[in-house]
Amino acid sequence: MPNGLNGMSTVRTLKTRLIRAARRVFGRPRQSGDGFLREIAGVIHVGANTGQERDDYAAFNLYVAWIEPIPEVYRQLRSHVSAFSRQKAYQRLITEHDQREYVFHVADNNGASSSILPLAMHTKLWPEISYSHDIKLTSATLDAFASRERLDLDTFDALVLDTQGSEMMVLQGAAGILQRVRFVKVEAPDFEAYTGCCLLSELEAFMTARGFRERERHPLRSGLGIGTYYDVLYERAPSRDLG
């Protein structure tokens, strides 16, 4: 695809809509947690790490914009998705502020648990994980990023967030995108995994206020006396359900 994910024509817009309709009728049997993938044409994935879901997305022939902040992890991501013509990697830190510098804490599990927030109860569930070093990164809002990279938002039906506690920051800087996507999938805990992190209860209130409702919830990991991490899928509620 010329220039990655940019400049979709009217013909391709119509093709994208036909793909969505066909997947709803003829898509693969629904699997736990990924059934929504057959209903979409593309996904913006913030907190990509090395692109572990690349084969899953490719199985549904999706367009994917991967966003990863850590330079060395981004290089791995770019290499991993280079074989997929509909997937493109970007190196950005996404928050609610545009052009702000942050100290970013890099975790020793190949960056998977890295965050702009300090570790809190996360160390109780994963005592083997710690921060190895800090780097300085300049942020962008998701809306500003999409504008600068000229992402054709008609291509993307879904937003996936796995940013280790800063998911609410990402959402607060994505007002325009939230008005357009159908699905938002977020990894969130019901306890303070990172200091000041996005909690499940806060996420529920935020998404409900913006016209989304929970469609699925899957526990990822729990600790006795600590709490649970979840993957939560939100779907835009039909307008008749909002009034």
What count of other Cβ atoms lies within 10 Å of the Cβ of residue 201? 10
Q: Which is it for strands 227-236 and 63-68: parallel, antiparallel or unpaired?
A: unpaired
Radius of gyration of the chain (CA): 17
* Residue range 10-186 in CATH 2.40.10: no
From residue 2, alpha-carbon distances to 6, 19, 61, 63, 172 in Å are: 8, 20, 17, 13, 31
Instruction: Report domain extents, the chain.
Output: 10-186
3-state secondary structure 31-57: CCCCHHHHHCCEEEEECCCCCCCHHHH
Per-residue pLDDT of the chain (243 residues; tens, 9 = 90+): 334 455 444 444 444 444 444 444 334 433 446 889 999 999 999 999 999 999 999 999 999 999 999 999 999 999 999 999 999 999 999 999 999 999 999 999 999 999 999 999 999 999 999 999 999 999 999 999 999 999 999 999 999 999 999 999 999 999 999 999 999 999 999 999 999 999 999 999 999 999 999 999 999 988 888 999 999 999 999 876 555
Token pair listed for 36: 């929504």
